[in-house]
Amino acid sequence: MTILKELNDIFIDVFENEDIVLTVSTSAADLEEWDSLNHIHLIVSIEKHFNIRFTSKEIQSWKNVGEMVDSINKKIAV
Amino acid sequence: MIFNSVSFSIFFIVFFLLYWFVLNKNLKLQNGFILAASYVFYARADWHFLFLLAGSSAVSYFLGIYIGKVTNDRQKRLLLYLGLLQGLGTLVYFKYFNFFITSFANAFSIFHINLNIHTFQILLPLGISFYTFRTLSYIIDIYNDKTKPTRDWVVFFCYIAFFPCLISGPIDRPNLLIPQLEKKRNFTYEHGTDAMRQILWGFFKKMVIADNCAAVTNQIFDKYLVLPGSTLLLGAFFFTIEIYSDFSGYSDLAIGFARLLGFNVTQNFNYPFFAQNIADYWRRWHISLTSWVTDYVFTPIAIAFRDYGKLGLLLAIILNMLIVGIWHGANWTFVLYGFVNGLYFIPLIWLGKLGGKKKSEHSKLMPSLAVLKNILGTFTLVMLTNIIFRAESISKAFGYYRRLFSLSLFKTPVFQGKLDAAVTLFLIGLMFTIEWLHREKQHGLQIDYIKSRFLRLGIYFSLMFIIFIFDFTEQHQFIYFKF
């Protein structure tokens, strides 16, 4: 499974919406459920799933799903 | 200059004509014109503090450029702190200095220690809470790489001082307004007519609904000590409607005037009283402020506290709401107001029901019973904390609650002008009906879907007629001018 696919499953789980299909350019503006409150749940779920830890700076720098994938890849490679 | 005044009407008409018909060819001149007009607009209201507006703009302008240029992380952070210090420092000084002094002295007086501290005669510069948040978001966004600094100082000064939004918002982010200032604006007939509709709706809400509600609210809050609980309940109700129609009316005017100049500014209200829970309400009320505090206060704190689960989230929300509350002014009532609204989130956090979309009632004419129950429940919660918001002190707020929740709740209401209030109640119903029908639209009077021109004109003239007969001769200040 690619990182994107794993992320997609996490999104579906956190937002409780089976219709979500992520692309690298998907951003918060594209998903109604993706607001500041759900964002935290998302981050916690992602960190738990991949067993990684982001810094605040990294989290605040993401502009879209693609950048999240890049961050995850960097963490896993370490 | 308040929007519903003759002087502003003349000002705006002259500005509009020169802006589109004389200066439209040259973008730089047109922007210069906006800047000059904005400063004249501000000076007419509060010329003493023009230097502060210009000074804050200048500091942020230069800091923005340097933060963008500097590569050393430590230097970058230092510049950011400097900007935060300047912005928050001036805001805190003008707004909260006396509050800190008197609270400090009061704390000692509990122990019967009399600190002979003098407070200073500090005037509050008009609009400072609003334009300071613009300068802060600018430098924070540059620091976080979310926006690029602009080299055009006229564009930047216009962003800070843009006159439709200068006095009471909406608080636009740099990425929304600066690109529009850097490009040519276009005027279309459809755009212009819809902007006029929004302005008409804003005038209706402010001059008919808000000012008439104020007539009821003021007398009830002034005499709450001798009035029965039933009257106090009406007072809370009318105040809640008053502050909504006053501030959303002002926002419609600001947005409408900006649109007449070819600008799209931030939506500030999204029919908050149709919210079905408190989280949804705060997503719809004073959006430009709450989203600002969410992005710059809640999100970093919530990220830092993410290991503490629901408790961490609750703490972040409470801090968020405290800031939203205290932003309104230097009074413990605003602190309590924020705190209680934060506590309101507890059931939602614990049940995990915070997120996004609720059962939407898209294109259904009548709300279902379940939806209606949620709407009324949320409204009641909001109405109860508005008592604290309106009260002059916490003890007065509690006095109000004590009388409200007493047996006198079941006595007949007592106040002056019952007929006027009844008519106002009818008009409130009219306002909410119209807004309910248009709850998916940009603003309450977006009736371009009505094909019959006759019907549309009928609606405009009816509203104008109502405004005409219900307008008091005194001009009432907008509530949010004092924040």
pLDDT digits (tens, 9 = 90+) for B35-79: 999 999 999 888 889 999 999 999 999 999 999 999 899 999 999
Question: Would you state the pLDDT for residue A38?
Answer: 86
3-state secondary structure chain B: CCCCCHHHHHHHHHHHHHHHHHCCCCHHHHHHHHHHHHHHHHHHHHHHHHHHHHHHHHHHHHHHHHHHHCCCHHHHHHHHHHHHHHHHHHHHHHHHHHHHHHHHHHHHHCCCCCCCCCCCCCCCCCCHHHHHHHHHHHHHHHHCCCCCCCCCHHHHHHHHHCHHHHCCCCCCCHHHHHHHHHCCCCCCHHHHHHHHHHHHHHHHHHHHHHHHHHHHHHHHHHCHHHCCHHHHHHHHHHHHHHHHHHHHHHHHHHHHHHHHCCCCCCCCCCCHHHCCCHHHHHHHCCHHHHHHHHHHHHHHHHHHCHHHHHHHHHHHHHHHHHHHHHHCCCCHHHHHHHHHHHHCCHHHHHCCCCCCCCCCCCCCCCCCHHHHHHHHHHHHHHHHHHHHHHCCCHHHHHHHHHHHCCHHHHCCCCCCCHHHHHHHHHHHHHHHHHHHHCCCCCCCCCCCCCCCHHHHHHHHHHHHHHHHHHCCCCCCCCHHHHC
Question: Would you state the pLDDT for residue B187?
Answer: 92
pLDDT digits (tens, 9 = 90+) for B171-180: 999 999 999 9
Identify all chain A residues contacting B355, using CB atoms and an 8 Å cutoff.
15-16, 33, 35, 37-38
Question: Would you state the pLDDT for residue B50?
Answer: 93
Integer Cα distance of B446 and B61 in angstroms: 37
The tokens of B172 are what?
Answer: 């636009």
Question: Would you state the pLDDT for residue B476?
Answer: 60
**Mean pLDDT, rounded, for B230-248:** 95
Task: Look up tokens 């500030």; give the residue.
Answer: B268
Average pLDDT over all residues of chain A:
89
B429 vs B482, higher pLDDT: B429
A31 vs B320, higher pLDDT: B320
pLDDT digits (tens, 9 = 90+) for B253-264: 999 999 999 999
Residue positions of B annotated with a catalytic role = 328
Asked if B302 contacts B313 with a C-beta cutoff of 8 angstroms, the reply is yes
Shortest Cα–Cα distance, A47 to chain B (Å): 11
Asked if B139 contacts B60 with a C-beta cutoff of 8 angstroms, the reply is yes
Burial of B18 (0-12, 13-18, 19+ CB in 10 A): middle
Integer Cα distance of A18 and A45 in angstroms: 17
Answer yes or no: is pLDDT of B317 > 50: yes
Question: Would you state the pLDDT for residue B358?
Answer: 52
Evaluate the omega torsion of the peptide bond into residue B367 and state whether it is cis, within 30 degrees of 0. no
Asked if B239 contacts B271 with a C-beta cutoff of 8 angstroms, the reply is no
Own/partner pairs for B471-477, CB < 8 Å, 24+ apart?
Answer: B471/B207, B471/B208, B471/B211, B472/B211, B475/B2, B475/B4, B475/B5, B476/B210, B476/B211, B476/B214, B477/B2
Question: What distance separates the 2 farthest-apart alpha carbons in chain B?
Answer: 73
**Mean pLDDT, rounded, for B5-18:** 93
**Mean pLDDT, rounded, for B7-22:** 94
Average pLDDT over all residues of chain B:
91
Answer yes or no: is pLDDT of B296 > 90: yes
Show the CA angle centred on residue B426, arms to residues B284 and B423, nearest 5°: 125
ipTM of the complex: 0.91
Integer Cα distance of B457 and B436 in angstroms: 21
**Mean pLDDT, rounded, for B418-424:** 89
Question: Would you state the pLDDT for residue B128?
Answer: 92
Answer yes or no: is pLDDT of B114 > 60: yes
Answer yes or no: is pLDDT of B479 > 80: no
pLDDT digits (tens, 9 = 90+) for B318-361: 999 999 999 998 899 999 999 999 999 999 988 877 765 555 55
Answer yes or no: is pLDDT of B482 > 80: no
Identify all chain B residues contacting A16, using CB atoms and an 8 Å cutoff.
355
**Mean pLDDT, rounded, for B157-185:** 95
The number of C-alpha atoms within 13 Å of B460 and in the hemisphere containing its C-beta is 17
CB pairs under 8 A between A and B: 43
- List helix spans (H) across A1-78: 3-15, 36-50, 56-61, 65-77
pTM over 0.80: yes
Please state which architecture CATH assigns to domain A3-77. Answer: Orthogonal Bundle (1.10)
Per-residue pLDDT band for A18 (boundaries 50, 70, 90) equals confident
Give, as one character, the DSSP assignment of residue A20.
Answer: -
**Mean pLDDT, rounded, for B390-404:** 93
A interface test, pick of B354, B359, B440 with most A CB neighbours within 10 Å: B354
Cβ separation of A60 and B306 shorter than 8 Å?
no
B interface test, pick of A13, A37, A42 with most B CB neighbours within 10 Å: A37
Extents of the domains making up chain A:
3-77
Burial of B461 (0-12, 13-18, 19+ CB in 10 A): exposed
Q: Which of B298, B306, B357 sits opposite A36 (nearest CB)?
A: B298
pLDDT digits (tens, 9 = 90+) for B438-449: 999 999 999 999
Rounded to the nearest 10°, the torsion over CA B298, B301, B303, B308 is -110
Integer Cα distance of B468 and B454 in angstroms: 21
Stretch 48-77 of chain A: residues touching chain B, C-beta under 8 Å: 56, 59-61
Identify all chain B residues contacting A33, using CB atoms and an 8 Å cutoff.
355-357
Show the CA angle centred on residue B52, arms to residues B48 and B55, nearest 5°: 140
**Mean pLDDT, rounded, for B207-225:** 92
**Mean pLDDT, rounded, for B372-379:** 95
Question: Would you state the pLDDT for residue B473?
Answer: 43
Question: Would you state the pLDDT for residue B214?
Answer: 93
Integer Cα distance of B432 and B274 in angstroms: 9
Q: Which of A33, A43, A61 sits opposite B306 (nearest CB)?
A: A43
Identify all chain B residues contacting A56, using CB atoms and an 8 Å cutoff.
300, 303-304
Cβ separation of A33 and B355 shorter than 8 Å?
yes
